[in-house]
Amino acid sequence: MLIPANNRAAPARPEVHGHRGCRGLRPENTLPAFLHALALGVDVIELDVVISADKQVVVSHEPWLNPLVCLNPDGESIPLADGRNYNLYRLPYATIRRCDCGQLRHPSFPAQVSEPAYKPLLSEVFSTLESASLRLGRPPVKYSVEIKCSPAGDNLFHPAPGEFLPLVLAELAAARVLERTTLLCFDARILQLAHQLQPDLATCFLVEDQVPWSSSLHQLGFLPTTFGPDAATITPAAVQALRDEFPTLRLVPWTVNDLADMQRLLALGLDGMTTDYPDRLIPLLAS
């Protein structure tokens, strides 16, 4: 087993982060997925947000309708090549709400239970899950909110960071979940601005490249709360190097779905794992 450096104790139990709720089990980024993940016992609900034409914060991975999982506003299937024509940044939320994104089972997740579902507002997710936590008698769930932003998409598929981030922060503040939320992004601009505007907010820098992790963090310009690499890039040596240089940094990789990978990563003393299958990870931790 890898021993964490600088006397950093490995967590007694890594957090279970339900990816897009529980994408392997229910339609991604929908209320049924979030409620099922909550009932399974996840510690953190992970979700993605985009912005509609009327400046609503919408829960969605893509800033357009994904033809694999969504129908158009008239209930018709969308040709694979036409998904980006349904740009959510150009559609009012009332139109987005009419689009079913739950009846089409994602082809990569054959165990997913399909059911009618729509892309909810972030505010609705918060109100629904806060109430559900009380009914279940469980501690309030934490949130990982990923802002889907990139320089190439500015003012095309989403507003620029200076407009995008305040819209999201306003929803976190209104729901009173700032202290339980980590802001995730692959776009360093969002995290740098968040560090300026809301320095106490937990942040997670997501990366998918295999460049040295240390280089990515130094380019960010400040130390985030959490580092989120692609689980496929994790090695014991890379984890040890990260612990040596940044002993307080939390490490939560994405997306860990295979039991063998879960077992391998557990041996490294990670702080959490993001998974489409919390029903696999939670029993493994209990055993």
On whether residue 219 sits in a domain, the answer given is yes
Cα 188 to Cα 186: distance, rounded to the nearest angstrom: 6
Q: What's the pLDDT band for 10 if we cut at 50, 70, 90?
A: low
pLDDT at 3 over 50: no
Mean pLDDT of the chain: 95
Residue 159 lies in a domain: yes
How far apart, in whole angstroms, are the C-alpha atoms of residue 50 and residue 22?
19
Which residue type sits at 215?
A: S
Q: Does the structure show a pLDDT above 90 at 5?
A: no
**Cα angle: 260, vertex 264, 270; to 5 degrees:** 130
Whole domain around residue 35: which residue ranges? 15-65+119-286
Establish if 91 belongs to a structural domain: no
Q: What total number of domains does the chain contain?
A: 1
Q: How do residues 175-215 score in pLDDT, each as one tens digit? A: 999 999 999 999 999 999 999 999 999 999 999 987 789 99
Question: Residue-wise over 158-181: b if at least 16 C-beta within 10 A, else e?
Answer: bbebeebbebbbebbeebebbebb
The predicted model scores a pTM of: 0.95
Q: How many whole angstroms separate alpha carbon 59 and alpha carbon 135?
A: 23
One-character DSSP codes across 189-232: HHHHHHHHH-TTSEEEEEE-S-S-HHHHHHHHSS--SEEEEBGG
Nearest-angstrom CA–CA distance, 176 and 129: 13
Using the predicted structure, report yes or no on whether residue 129 has a pLDDT greater than 60.
yes
**Of residues 6 and 56, more confidently modeled:** 56
The predicted structure's pLDDT at residue 12: 77
Q: Can you list the alpha helix ranges (DSSP code H) found in the chain?
A: 31-40, 93-97, 122-136, 161-174, 188-197, 213-220, 236-245, 259-266, 278-286
pLDDT of residue 210: 73
Q: At what angle do helices 161-174 and 122-136 cross, to 10 degrees?
A: 30
Q: Hey, is 113 helix, strand or coil?
A: coil
CATH number assigned to the domain comprising residue 261? 3.20.20.190
pLDDT of the residue at 96: 98
Report if residue 245 sits inside a domain.
yes
pLDDT in tens, 209-267: 877 899 999 999 999 999 999 999 999 999 999 999 999 999 999 999 999 999 999 99
Q: State the residue for tokens 């510690």.
A: 43
Give the confidence band of 6 by pLDDT, cuts at 50, 70, 90: very low
Which amino acid would we find at residue 266? L
Q: What whole-number distance in Å separates Cα of residue 166 and Cα of residue 206?
A: 20
pLDDT > 70 fraction of the chain, expressed in percent and rounded: 96
* Residue 267 placed within a domain: yes
pLDDT at 9 over 90: no
Which residue reads 């994904």 in tokens? 66
Domain-located, residue 243: yes
pLDDT at residue 1 is higher than 60: no
Is 96 inside any structural domain?
A: no
Average pLDDT rounded to a whole number, residues 110-131: 98
Task: State percent of the chain over pLDDT 90.
Answer: 94
Residue 203 belongs to a domain: yes
Q: Is 108 exposed, middle or buried (0-12, 13-18, 19+ CB in 10 A)?
A: exposed
Question: How many CB atoms neighbour CB 45 within 10 A?
Answer: 25
Least confident of 5-19, 44-58, 82-96: 5-19
Is it the case that residue 11 has pLDDT exceeding 70?
no
**DSSP 8-class letter at 141:** P
Residues in Cβ contact with 155 at an 8 Å cutoff, skipping those fewer than 6 apart: none
- CA 155 to chain CA centroid, Å, is 22
CA distance 137 to 114: 27
| Phi and psi, residue 196, nearest 5° | -80, -45
pLDDT of residue 4 exceeding 70: no
